[in-house]
Amino acid sequence: MIIIFLFLFLASEAQARDPAQVRAFRKANPCPVTQKTAGACPGFVVDHIVPLCFDGADLPSNMQWQEVRASYKKDVFERQACALKKKLVDLK
């Protein structure tokens, strides 16, 4: 059950993102490793500074390069925080 919820949560989050915005971010902020604006960026991912579920904008101004290891930890925290926010909103 938890795995299904997690899959649905991640799928809904992924659909909310606009790939054009990530491309715009990358064009203005090349990969810290390769200095390229397209293609793989080994060890890094593009991350929203303020999560979308907390009304963070899906714009380059709300994006940053983040090391993959750090992104795993932040993603766990964000999933928990967003789930808690949803529960609190549902209680109202």
Q: What gap in Å lies between CA 62 and CA 14, rounded to an integer?
A: 16
* Alpha carbons 88 and 21: distance in angstroms, whole number: 30
Q: Which pTM was predicted?
A: 0.75
CA-CA distance, 75 to 63, in Å (whole number)? 14
Question: Residue 30, Cα to own-chain centre: how many angstroms?
Answer: 18
Q: What is the pLDDT of residues 34-86, one digit of tens each?
A: 999 999 999 999 999 999 999 999 999 999 999 999 999 999 999 999 999 88
User: What's the pLDDT tens digit per position in 75-87?
Assistant: 999 999 999 988 8
